[in-house]
């Protein structure tokens, strides 16, 4: 959907009518999704891996540029970054990866939240910090988040990321389809607007599926006959078409069963499934928190005891060393005094009581004196 079509779409539906309400992960079988929900189609035949969508996402969400990342990365116009497989992180909600396919083709795929129709992240979040809107985007409410990170474990695409560097207020981050920052203002998602090759198409999900089918039909041999995201895990609002099998682009092979349906199947024998799942998760969370608290207290006590013991040992060693030094010093002084006294005594003795000459020496002296007298 181009900008003009998009705006006319909003004109018909009305931004207020399209965007303000919230849906929720619907734990029902064969949920067809909200009829007017919007989404994005990514076409890997058109994508040239220019990374402009990455830069557009940063700008749209007021995120820092790579040089300002906590772990600095290469700038968005440096395409050597495509040589390694990357994931999103808390300062970057989308990345483009390069694949060498079995057909000898170089193919690019953009990665971000797929905005699942029945999101596993939302069904795992017992405080409802993740919400599936009726308009399509899956959004996140940081004020409700307790930081349990069940959403990260639940997401089959490994999308939600966590700010481990923030000690005081670590939160979860992911693509929001620019719900608050642009869609509500009648603007296209930042990545869609900037893409120079129309590799990203925004529109109603039902229309995007028709567009994707038409491209596949009109270009025999150019695309594989599969729209990834149409049915996987109950379907997603971000869809993909590709010249090679989607699994070659790291798309996980998932069944059609949605996450909430899988959950209800696992707990099917338990009465009041819908109520008990948050209780179980909540219980697990608080038990794990209590264990963490106990472990932290035990660790602190052990550290305090070790410090006290080390300090006591250090003081004992210091006192012993001081005693020894004092004793050695006293002994040294005493030795020096004794030595000086002895030397002085010897000098006095030599000066005032010279030793008597030996008898033979005395006789020789007398004879010498007699001869001289004679």
In the complex, least distance from residue 108 CB atom to ligand SF4, rounded to whole angstroms: 6
- Whose Cβ is closer to ligand SF4: residue 84's or residue 351's? 84
Q: What is the SS3 assignment for 46?
A: coil
Q: Residue 281 is inside which H or E element, if any?
A: helix 273-352
Q: Which two tokens stand for residue 94?
A: 């989308």
Q: What is the SS3 assignment for 122?
A: helix
In the complex, least distance from residue 199 CB atom to ligand SF4, rounded to whole angstroms: 4
- Whose Cβ is closer to ligand SF4: residue 256's or residue 291's? 256
Report how many helices (DSSP H) and strands (DSSP E) the chain contains, helices first.
10, 9
Question: The tokens 């993909």 sit on which residue?
Answer: 240
In the complex, least distance from residue 239 CB atom to ligand SF4, rounded to whole angstroms: 13
Q: Which chain residues interact with ligand SF4 by CB under 6 A?
A: 47-53, 56-57, 60-61, 93-94, 96, 108, 110, 112-116, 119-121, 138, 155, 157, 159-160, 174-178, 189-191, 195, 197, 199-200
Integer angstrom CA distances of residue 352 from 94, 171, 345, 348, 358: 105, 97, 11, 6, 18
- Output DSSP code: residue 116: B
- Whose Cβ is closer to ligand SF4: residue 125's or residue 362's? 125
In the complex, least distance from residue 210 CB atom to ligand SF4, rounded to whole angstroms: 21
Q: Name, in order, each residue with C-beta under 8 angstroms of 221's C-beta and a sequence gap of 6 or more.
A: none
Strands (E), the chain: 38-43, 95-100, 106-111, 130-132, 138-140, 161-162, 172-173, 200-204, 238-241
- Whose Cβ is closer to ligand SF4: residue 189's or residue 209's? 189
In the complex, least distance from residue 266 CB atom to ligand SF4, rounded to whole angstroms: 17
Q: Which two tokens stand for residue 161?
A: 């990321």
| Rounded CA separation 7/24 (Å) | 26
In the complex, least distance from residue 216 CB atom to ligand SF4, rounded to whole angstroms: 18
- Whose Cβ is closer to ligand SF4: residue 119's or residue 203's? 119
- Whose Cβ is closer to ligand SF4: residue 233's or residue 291's? 233
- Output DSSP code: residue 356: P
- Whose Cβ is closer to ligand SF4: residue 141's or residue 299's? 141
Q: What is the SS3 assignment for 100?
A: strand
In the complex, least distance from residue 121 CB atom to ligand SF4, rounded to whole angstroms: 3
- Output DSSP code: residue 131: E
């Amino acid at each position: 959907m181009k900008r003009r079509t998009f705006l006319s779409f909003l004109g018909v539906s009305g931004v207020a009518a399209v965007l303000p309400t919230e849906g929720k992960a619907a734990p029902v079988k064969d949920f067809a999704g909200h009829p007017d929900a919007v989404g994005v189609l990514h076409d890997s035949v058109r994508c040239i891996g220019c990374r402009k969508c990455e830069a557009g996402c940063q700008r749209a969400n007021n995120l820092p540029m790579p040089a300002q990342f906590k772990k600095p990365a290469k700038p968005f116009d440096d395409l050597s970054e495509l040589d390694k497989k990357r994931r999103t992180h808390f300062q970057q909600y989308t990345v483009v990866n390069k694949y060498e396919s079995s057909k000898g083709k170089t193919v690019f795929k953009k990665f971000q939240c797929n905005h699942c129709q029945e999101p596993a992240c939302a069904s795992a979040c017992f405080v409802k910090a993740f919400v599936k809107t009726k308009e399509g985007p899956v959004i996140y409410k940081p004020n409700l988040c307790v930081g349990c990170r069940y959403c990260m474990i639940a997401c089959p695409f490994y999308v939600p990321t966590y700010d481990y560097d923030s000690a005081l207020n670590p939160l979860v981050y992911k693509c929001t389809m620019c719900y608050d920052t642009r869609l509500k203002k009648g603007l296209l998602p930042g990545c869609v607007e900037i893409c120079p090759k129309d590799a990203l198409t925004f529109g109603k999900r039902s229309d995007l599926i028709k567009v994707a089918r038409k491209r596949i039909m009109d270009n025999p041999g150019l695309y594989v006959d599969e729209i990834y995201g149409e049915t996987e895990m109950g379907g997603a609002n971000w869809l993909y078409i590709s010249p090679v099998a989607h699994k070659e682009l790291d798309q996980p092979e998932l069944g059609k069963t949605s996450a909430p349906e899988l959950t209800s199947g696992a707990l099917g024998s338990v009465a009041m499934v819908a109520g008990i799942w948050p209780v179980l998760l909540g219980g697990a969370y608080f038990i794990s928190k209590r264990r963490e608290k106990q472990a932290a207290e035990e660790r602190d006590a052990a550290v305090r005891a070790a410090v006290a013991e080390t300090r006591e040992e250090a003081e004992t060693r210091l006192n012993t060393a001081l005693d020894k030094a004092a004793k050695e010093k006293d002994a040294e002084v005493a030795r020096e005094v004794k030595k000086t006294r002895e030397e002085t005594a010897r000098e006095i003795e030599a000066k005032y009581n010279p030793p008597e000459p030996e008898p033979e020496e005395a006789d020789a002296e007398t004879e010498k004196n007699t001869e001289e007298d004679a």
